[in-house]
Amino acid sequence: MSIKVVFGSDLGTTRAIATRIATALNAMPLEITKAQAKDLESCDLLLLGSPTYGIGELQCDWEERLDTLYRADLTGKTVALFGTGDQVGFADSFADAIGVLYDIVTEKGAQVIGFTDAFDYEFAESRAFRDGQFVGPVIDQDNQPDMTEQRIAQWLKSLHSESGLEAVLQTGS
């Protein structure tokens, strides 16, 4: 089974989260700046991660490499999304970047798994909030750093059960 964890990160928070997730799934994290369309296509489970910048914008590496995502054939691909954000400082655009990625991958025919509850957050609006849930876990290291490990662990368990794949999850990573 092949898993790809592709991310963009400027300050290192999303890189650290991507590394934790990749380690737990026995995968290697790959920066979007180094990814090619075939990297996004050649896996059984594709995980995409991004922080949200400014007022709901994709991280700059994602912005510059969106053509890679658009060129990839994601028809029937299983995709999971994760993001980082600041629900206090950016309550009106909290985690919008993974909402943007969600729109692109679903438009390209992917099936998104790994939706998460939003009950422990305080935000006004989010493009990542769909049908009462986030399209993936949102890690707020600025305001809820104590929730990070729990959110990642719960999400990984849900991915394992939703994906139908035999992912090997390492506990305590």
**Tens-place pLDDT, residues 95-104:** 999 999 999 9
* DSSP letter string, 40-57: HHSSSEEEEEEEEETTTE
Q: Is pLDDT of 163 > 90?
A: no
Map out the domains of the chain with their CATH numbers.
3-163 (3.40.50.360)
Q: Is the pTM of this model over 0.85?
A: yes
Q: How confident is the model at residue 58 (pLDDT cuts 50, 70, 90)?
A: confident
